[in-house]
A and B are shown apart, each in its own frame.
Chain A
């Protein structure tokens, strides 16, 4: 049981380049989200999804796009990378009822130069 899988683990981009961070979960969770972690700021919500075909913005959505075509996958797209997007990105999926609560992936460390 893999849980939440993020790829790649590390990435270096040049300013202006685009890329997609991949996230997949095998727990049949309806809820998925993307967070970014910056020193001294905790984790901040970028985008989230409550089910296939449904997405919404979080606290810091600018410069990022998401889509949710299947329950399992929730990719995060950086449209035109900027140095301010240098961060560690975490994907998480959430269960309901007794299993309420998020399971986090191991993260993608992104550097934009």
Chain B
């Protein structure tokens, strides 16, 4: 089954404690991205990756890091989480960067930073 998986699905942490949210897709997609979803603001892109070893900032990259060492994986790293990073996070992928109109989303990771 074609899918994007994320782990963990729920996470409660404290300010400053580094965490990683994993994302994996099994569709051999080149393009992957991370979004955060906040009430009234919709989905905002954090980082994206056109292909392996190619990443770039989205609209709200501050406080986040990513890496793309393998095509299927695109982890999101919060080196020093703060309460304003409490949000719902989605990983997404599409076959290429020019085919984002058919983007697949993961199930989401709900993060609470105390």
Same complex origin of A and B: no
